[in-house]
Amino acid sequence: MLYILIGQDDFSLNQALEEIKRGLGDQSLLSANTTTLDGRQVSLDQLKLVCETVPFLAEKRLVIVERLLERFEPPNKSSRKKKIKPDRQSEYKSLGAYISGIPDSTILVLIDGSIKSSNPLLKELSGRAEVKSFPLLKGDKLRQWIQGRVKGQGGSITPQAVNLLAYVVGGNLWIMANEIDKLVLFTSGRQIEEEDIRLSVGYAHEASVFTMVDAILEFRAGAAEQLLQQLLQRGAAPAYLLVMLSRQVQMMVRAKELKRQRKTETEIQNKLGLTAEFALRKTLEQADKYSLERLMEIYHKLLQTDLSIKTGKYGGELALNILIAELCQKSRAGKTGG
């Protein structure tokens, strides 16, 4: 039996793999009959050796091959001149032919991330395999998943809280599951509300950091100082806020460069490692809105503030207040815009 599990949602993908394992009987025996291979390096002979090994005291053996399809991904559109090399073409055809006829005693599972439908090995095997795709959840599907997870953990949640949680955490279900589990414990049987998320979910702090960055970039000292105090009162450590501010400025600089290279939004999202929709949207918006000169000015000030805290010149909160006051002085700042 051949399974192909692909997609960025590795939480759901992992659950699907566990379901396959549960269907193979005694888990202690399965553990002794399971082999995991690195598909980027495995040879046909190595795969044959493992797949043709007789199961030990069991009917089936499980072979998991990670990132084999990735090895044969077609080049990007920007690299149209590149073609699959003849030896690589022969390789995927040989692998495809063998995998299609693996022994009945072997359950083979190919696991990969985002794979193009034009992937030659995927096309070769898709008619003979059970293919399951796990894209990152968004919109209504993500909100439904949140409601299901909360209910499954014995909790309940308002629609407004569902929307906020989806907005600030996004489609990384490992993080989402962890945050939901914490919220269910935090609320102790009562319904989860928006304020609970603002108080206990780290990503809600990140949303406020975006707003504070906007205020700083736009020289709105009062708003920036108010947001800083709110974050500190909610328990955000000064060191954490400094890291988040630095990270966001770096993200904007990188987004500017990627847009200059004419990368698509999906490519930029992957390059920056952003799973929350709001984070991608705000980063792109800020990258468009502010000049590189202004962003670099802020980044250098952040480095100076970090140094002043580490050397003991100022305490964390005082250093952040001084930082915001300095950055919001128009007379000393570079111009905003494009």
Query: What pLDDT digit, counting tens, does each position of 86-128 carry?
Result: 567 788 889 999 999 999 999 999 999 989 889 999 999 988 9
The b/e string for 226-254 (b: 16+ C-beta within 10 A; e otherwise) is: ebbeebbeeebebeebbebbbebbebbee
Question: What is the phi/psi pair of residue 64, to 5°?
Answer: -110, 125
Determine the pLDDT at residue 338: 45
Low-confidence ranges of the chain (pLDDT < 50): 79-81, 331-338
Domain 203-332 fold is: Zinc Finger, Delta Prime; domain 3 (1.20.272)
CB 107 within 8 A of CB 63: yes
Q: Using CA of residue 40, residue 44, residue 46, residue 52, what is the dihedral sign?
A: positive
Helix (H, G, I), strand (E, B) or coil at 321: helix
CB 18 within 8 A of CB 132: no
Q: Which pTM does this prediction carry?
A: 0.63
Q: Range(s) for CATH 1.10.8.60 in the chain? A: 139-200
Statement: 139-200 belongs to CATH 1.10.8.60: yes
Determine the pLDDT at residue 247: 85
Determine the pLDDT at residue 144: 96
Helix (H, G, I), strand (E, B) or coil at 117: coil
Top-tier CATH class for 2-133: alpha beta
CB 150 within 8 A of CB 156: yes
Determine the pLDDT at residue 169: 75
DSSP labels for 148-166?
A: HHHHHTT--B-HHHHHHHH
Distance CA(233)–CA(65), nearest Å, equals 48
CB 269 within 8 A of CB 280: yes
Determine the pLDDT at residue 205: 60
CB 203 within 8 A of CB 179: yes
Q: Retrieve residue 26's tokens.
A: 């005694």
CB 204 within 8 A of CB 198: yes
The CA-atom distances, in angstroms, between 107 and each of 10, 149, 222 are 20, 30, 62
Nearest to 191 by CA among 183, 200, 201: 183
Q: Range(s) for CATH 1.20.272.10 in the chain? A: 203-332
Distance CA(103)–CA(50), nearest Å, equals 11
